[in-house]
Structure 1
Amino acid sequence: MKLTFFGGAGTVTGSKILLEVNYKKILIDCGLFQGLKELRLKNREPLPINLSDLDVVLLTHAHLDHCGYLPVLVKNGYQGKIYCTEATRDLTEIILLDSGKIQKEEAERANRYGYTKHKPAEPLYDVDDAKETLAHFKTFEENVWHAIDEEIRFKFINSGHILGSVFIVLEVKSKIFVFSGDIGRKEPILLHPYSYIQKADYLVIESTYGNRIHENVSIEDELLRTIKHTYTKRGILIIPTFSVERAQEIIYILSVLKRKNLLPNIPIYLDSPMGVNATAVYFKHTKNHMLTTADINSMIATVELISNIDASKAIVNDDNPKIVLAGSGMITGGRVLHYLDKYISDKKNSVLIVGFQAEGTRGRALLEGDREIKFFGKYHKIQAEVFKINAFSGHADQSELLDWLTHFTSPPTLTFINHGEPHQSQALKTKIKTDLGWNCTVAKMNKEYYLS
């Protein structure tokens, strides 16, 4: 048996883990690299797997860094199935179609304005490639064993990270493998909390926040404070928003504040076709979250959902105070760039960061105090105020990761720590060894790990 990490090792992006068991090759997640250019270039490198030998892909959840490379896999000849939950399948459809559209648009823009070294710039994949990928999906229920063959079976268990997200448990010849994907919060805003697992011979655990504890603050109060501060300046509040989970959480909190009559009388927009579609999927899968019918109706009444491009342009060009939620969450693309293009150089406006920002992203540059950021082929001076709510996270912090680990009845033979920047993964490794006494290692990119 052998594990190889082709992504998500030493970084929080591009998750791909290959499990080889004699005659079977199983890929856990198939994500896109984002952030630093040196990472993004890896998306153009051929995956060192013979795709005709790859038997199946198991998907933990629908975030782009876990599913965004799937169309490349299919485009390059993968003919097998992609297994996931129904909610993950529905969200992945939205995310891959949007990704294909954005990549094509960005390539066309780069060619039109000449800010590319490639002649011509080509998208990694397009909408047609994404549509072809969707034909490979097969969905399965959670908490039930499903057979891959006579000797291998798997089970999906709720991880509480986003709608439909799961831990993957694989039983191979009496050995248990557990892949965490991304682990949610112990007390999430909308979802059911993560489930505990009792046994693993080999465990792969994420470490996005392996070195820190989330702030124990009122998200409602923090959000309201930023809204009121911007409103007193007669400014515009721009919230770069992850379309899946974060957008729905913010809309819910805004609806609560509205019901309490605490919000200024200004329009609120979710200007993101993907965010709008993801919200519809969210409302469809009522068993996967804790929202009531009254909650959903209140959310719909609080925020205007924008998909139409002409409506979006009109909102961008309206200088009156407003709150705008727009993708992408790390400002790597999407409609948020059009709002920043017009408003980021005006000090009466505000930008609120509400999620993890990977190295090399424009969101990270804002948080680190850069005075200008580049997009649309030019540099933009940052005059708007930049705020961050640290408590807004879909990832477990160090204490929550330890809480999840302590429910194993015995230590795994070996625990692999991945999906974290190096200092985060090393910090979690030290914590696990010190507090639990477990045998663990930080996963290395492209290194082969042979297992007994």
Structure 2
Amino acid sequence: MENFVRVSFLGAAGVVTGSKFLIETSEKNILIDCGMFQGLKELRQLNWENLPIDVSAIDVVLLTHGHLDHVGYLPRLIKQGFRGKIISTAPTLAIAEIILKDSAKIHEEEAEKANKEKYSKHNPALPFYTIREAEKTIRLFNVEIEDNWVTLSEHISYRFQYNGHIIGATFIEIDINGKRFVFSGDIGRRNDYLLDDPKTPEWADFLFIESTYGNKLHPDEDIEAILTTIIKDTIYKKGNLIIPSFAVERLQTLMYILWSLYKKNIIPNIPIFIDSPMGNNVLDVFKRFPKWHKLSMQDYNAMCNHMNIIKSYRETWETIDDNRSKIVIAGSGMVTGGRVLTYLQQLIDEPSTTVLLVGYQAEGTRGRQLLDGVHEIRFFGKYYPVKASIKSIESLSAHADQQDLINWMSHIKNSPENVYLIHGEPTALDAFRVKIETVFHWNVNIPKLTQVEKIII
């Protein structure tokens, strides 16, 4: 075996989204994650470019978890010639299947709508990938259990370790010729409503760690008190509370909190509508994999029965036309697509409406624009005035903050030869670099997009 490993940073380098890291060795070529870029237009445009590598030479893809920015590029990878296995935990692959099918459907519908209404610069507008291409991708899925070393070749083995964040999420440890490469994936938080605390690595020769909140501490907010106040204010205004939500984990967490508040008689029995086809499918994943979360089946069933689960687009319009004060939780979390656009298109110009943002809002997304106080917002080629009240709860984030990240790293018994900061915006990356150097005195690198690192082992 050659005495070096080549690592290519094909995504989530200098930016948050688009996770893709290629490890090339003389025995096997491994891609860690295969996500889409999201947010700024110049990033989204990168999705349409072929990867600057020989895709057919990749032997295996290992997935840390099922979010779109970690799995959404898979169909394009196959289109470019990948024929190997896609491996992860069972819940991650279940989530990835839901997300790929859902996003393919959205891609097809948006292309069709753009062609019909002629608001795209492209003629014709094409879907990023189709449902058929998503299904072809899913056929390559292979389940591996968590906390089990798997031999990939003579000198290479790997394992998945529980990491919180979302159901099925892991960090990945890869041993190559006696050196350990650790890819953090997205690290969850301790004391989560639904998930156990993340496990931690004990050894890392080369650490690739996410930095989404590398420059921030989550505020010590009383989430339940904030939600209660907003809900009571919504009822007082006889308005609507619209919560754009990620379909995976955030939606289920919000359902649990709202159900708990009602059960404890803290909020009245205000109608709650869940309008996320993908989120409904994710609820089934919670049911299928009870060992991966803390919710009992009794509580799960009671929570679901308390909500109005919307099954069709017709019911979406019936909900909009319902004059009662209500809570609507709908995808997507960054207001980039999904059913929430229909609600906001109809209701964002009403002062009685409140929009509550409950997760990370990437640069270039409508969610970030709303967070930054934009006075008008564009849906489907038209601008709408923002008269709704815009609120946010930062501490519902499923990402570890700076202190959580430092705590996670502090369990590593050795000093890594190199630490690579990934999955962060420039200010977060630089602040986190300084923090790690100050606390641990480790060598820290901030790789650039498409950078190739030759590591001697």
Larger mean CA deviation between 292-301 and 122-131 belongs to 292-301
Structure 2 partner of 1:209: 213
Q: Is the 8 A contact 1:25 1:54 kept in 2?
A: yes
Partner of 1:383: 387
- Report the count of equivalent residues: 452
What is aligned with 1:407?
411
Q: CA deviation at 1:266?
A: 2.1
Task: Specify the alignment match of 2:113 in structure 1.
Answer: 109
Secondary structure (helix, strand or coil) at the match of 1:178 reads strand
Aligned twin of 1:288: 292
Is 1:246 paired with 2:250? Answer: yes
Q: Deviations over 1:245-285 (max 9, x none)?
A: 00000000011011012223321011010010011111221
* Residue 97 of structure 1 pairs with residue 138 of structure 2: no
Matches within 5 A, 1:416-431: 416-431=420-435
Structure 1: gaps (5+ residues): none
CA contact (8 A) 1:258 1:302 kept: no
Whether the 8 Å contact between 2:56 and 2:80 is mirrored in structure 1 is no
The correspondence for 1:43, drawn from 41, 47, 51, is 47
Contact 2:158 2:174 in 1 (8 A): yes
In the alignment, is residue 130 of structure 1 matched against residue 130 of structure 2? no
Counterpart of 1:192, as a letter, is: D
Q: Hey, what does 1:156 align to over in structure 2? A: 160
Q: CA deviation at 1:23?
A: 3.7
| CA root-mean-square deviation | 0.9
Are 1:301 and 2:305 matched, yes or no? Answer: yes
Partner residue of 1:189 out of 190, 193, 201? 193
Task: Write out aligned runs for 1:295-444 (5 A).
Answer: 295-444=299-448
Check whether the contact 1:8–1:16 (CA below 8 A) recurs between aligned residues: yes
Cα deviation, 1:280-307, whole Å, max 9, x if unaligned, reads 1112210001111232122112211112
| In structure 1, C-alpha distance between the alignment counterparts of 2:105 and 2:200, rounded to whole Å | 38
CA distance in 1 between counterparts of 2:106 and 2:425 reads: 27
| 8 Å contact from structure 2 (residues 149, 159) kept in 1 | yes
2-side partners of 1:179 and 1:380: how far apart?
A: 42
Q: 20-29 vs 139-148, which deviates more?
A: 20-29
**Is the CA contact (8 Å cut-off) linking 1:231 and 1:264 kept in structure 2?**
no
- Offset, 1:113: 1.0
Q: Within 2, Cα distance between the matches of 1:56 and 1:265?
A: 50
Partner SS state of residue 30, structure 2 = strand
Determine helix, strand or coil for the equivalent of 2:56: coil
Deviation per residue, 1:31-67 (Å, 9 max, x gap):
0111110000000011112122111000000000000
- Alignment correspondent of 2:181: 177
8 Å CA contact 1:240–1:331 kept in 2: the answer is: yes
Moved more, 307-316 or 430-439: 307-316
Q: One-letter code of the match for 2:208?
A: V
Q: Does 1:271 align with 2:245?
A: no
CA shift, 1:94, in A, is 0.5
Identity of aligned residues (%): 48
| Partner of residue 34, structure 1 | 38
SS class of match (1:8): coil
Question: Residue type matched to 1:71 in 2?
Answer: P
1:224 aligned partner: 228
Q: Tell me the secondary structure at the aligned position of residue 255 of structure 1.
A: helix
Runs of 4+ in 1 over 4 A off after TM superposition: none
Contact 1:254–1:302, Cα closer than 8 Å, also in 2: no
1:220 Cα deviation from its structure 2 partner = 1.1
TM-score by length of 2: 0.98
Task: Kindly indicate whether residue 73 of structure 2 is the aligned counterpart of residue 62 of structure 1.
Answer: no
What are the ranges of 5 or more consecutive residues in structure 2 without an aligned counterpart? Answer: none
